[in-house]
Amino acid sequence: MTELSKIRNFSIVAHIDHGKSTLADRLIQETGTVAGRDMKAQLLDSMDIERERGITIKANTVRIDYTADDGQNYVLNLIDTPGHVDFAYEVSRSMRAVEGSLLVVDSSQGVEAQTLANVYHAMEADHEIVPILNKIDLPASDCDRVAEQIEDVIGIEATGAIQVSAKTGQGIHETLEAIVTDLPAPTGTRDAPLKAMLVDSWYDSYLGVIVLVRIIDGELKKGMRVKFMSNDTLHSVDRIGVFRPEMETIDVLGPGEIGFLTASIKQVRDTRVGDTITNDRQGCETALDGFKPAQPVVFCGLFPVDSAEFEDLRGAIDKLALNDASFTFEMETSAALGFGFRCGFLGLLHLEVVRDRIEREYNIDLITTAPSVVYHVYMRDGTMVELHNPADMPDLTHVDHLEEPRIKATILVPDEYLGDVLKLCQDRRGLQMDLTYAGSRAMAVYDLPLNEVVFDFYDRLKSVTKGYASFDYQMTDYREDNLVKMSILVNDEPVDALSMMVHRDRADARGRAMVEKLKDLIPRHMFKIPIQAAIGGKVIARETLSALRKDVTAKCYGGDASRKRKLLDKQKKGKKKMRQFGKVDIPQEAFISALKMDS
């Protein structure tokens, strides 16, 4: 049992690529937590895709024993959090499990958008923050400028920031001393009823669901019956332990400690991040505040390219859902693409990660339909329906109005690209909320509709700023706007997979772009094919794909013109009949290309 005064719980917050995981590696190495021969880069990132993309997707934890300069032995619990905006909820929960943060800023690049977002999470959780300037071994490093920037932009005292090179190991000892001296010890009562916070959970094929917990009050022992308060389920604890970073079982976890428990839980869905765990009998009275289930915000259809692989896809999605509680799915069918799933994600990176994992780990080629967001449709009779798929839009005569999700976007950009960024946000129906400067960089805060962002906003932003802009967003609210469903008709048949929600002012341009694109993508048939974009019964754009035709008058030499006329009329009748009964085959490549919207 460790005394409360000898425990320090902390997380590392930073923008992507500022060196969180490398700093964690050095802290583990410096304290001898892992033997030298077992050490590898990004030790805490266990998934292939995390190592390949160089990002952290799941929060990971490690327990470090450290003997300080004053001769005392301390237990340090480190949580390495994801830096990406899609996993912000997981980050905010991990923050509530610890008392302090190391704020890592790249001393050559300075403060970025996600540095801000994550620091605000830490401040909301009342953290003590220790600023660290990383990558001081780089020739472009400028510690004074970045320290000044931290003070200007974030408002934290940074004159005494620790200068570190996580690559070479310089400044690591000073960092460990700062953790012990500057960060507060946790508080908690050993004799109170058990109150523990569920920080994260993942699925293990041997042990079932492993639950990462932070004990607030009381003790967690093996064999205890515990209750998960959000869904009132009861479980019997099989084993308890800590990560060093390999699992190590122990008998009891006391207040202030972070560890794991397993209790033969079958599905990650039953363990919700941020939930409170307590005794079955003498439980705590109130749950920890701030728990909310993760809400998917972006939806898209996943279909196998080869429809025979549908069952394999179902198996793959079931297995992924075991490990990812924020990923939702239901079956759907489409006339063009066959059977597939309508899936919900926390954001575009989450969508990409899930799609890459299905393609890589289960060898299934996927078609992803255009991503859409959740709209609130208010009916005339006063009810509200959530619309996940534009194809399911109810009849407009019953609809009173539509509301769409809005976000607050923070963009940090060097000022020579500011004009392009403001124009891009204006084009995407953004409302400027704030514009400030920190040195030579501008910080623009915009209120944007989420459906304009999920298409290709991030790619466009990167291209207009040559990759120098950093972007971060959070959901704010739903607001009414003039939105309509645009259907695409090919040969007078609506194509479900291509219908989308657009703003009425943009509908004409979007529709024209779509039909022009499809005209190039659909192969010609023996009859002419009209391709139309329509809103309700009104066609707003049309292209006609001309027919392939045989020259029926080739055999006529001279003679009466009525002979030729007769043959051409006969051909025309045939084409008309063909068009009536003919079916247009839209190849799969055409769908994939049409869904990749260019601006």
Annotated binding-site ranges for GTP:
17-22, 134-137
Summarize the annotated binding site as residue ranges.
17-22, 134-137
Return d(Cα 91, Cα 58) in angstroms, integer: 9
Q: Strand, helix or coil at 510?
A: helix
CA angle 395, 400, 406 (to 5 degrees): 105
- Phi and psi, residue 99, nearest 5°: -105, -15
- Phi and psi, residue 106, nearest 5°: -70, 120
Whether 413 and 468 have beta carbons less than 8 Å apart is answered as: yes
Residues 6 or more apart whose CB falls under 8 angstroms from that of 25 comprise 39, 41, 42, 43, 44, 166
- Phi and psi, residue 376, nearest 5°: -100, 120
Cα 188 to chain centroid distance, Å, stands at 34
Nearest alpha-carbon partner for 527 in 542, 505, 549: 549
Return d(Cα 303, Cα 342) in angstroms, integer: 9
Return d(Cα 79, Cα 217) in angstroms, integer: 20
Residues 6 or more apart whose CB falls under 8 angstroms from that of 254 comprise 1, 2, 188, 190, 215, 219
What residue has token string 């999700």?
405
Q: Strand, helix or coil at 237?
A: coil
Which pair of structure tokens corresponds to residue 261?
A: 């428990």
- Phi and psi, residue 539, nearest 5°: -80, 130
Q: What is the CA radius of gyration of the chain?
A: 29
| CA-to-CA separations, 508 to 57, 140, 167, 538, in angstroms, rounded | 39, 48, 53, 11
Return d(Cα 91, Cα 81) in angstroms, integer: 6
Neighbouring CB atoms inside 10 A of 520's CB total: 11
Return d(Cα 79, Cα 59) in angstroms, integer: 7
* Encoded amino acid at 285, one letter: E
For residue 411, what is the DSSP state?
Answer: E
Return d(Cα 58, Cα 81) in angstroms, integer: 7
What residue has token string 């190039």?
520
Neighbouring CB atoms inside 10 A of 52's CB total: 11
Whether 145 and 116 have beta carbons less than 8 Å apart is answered as: no
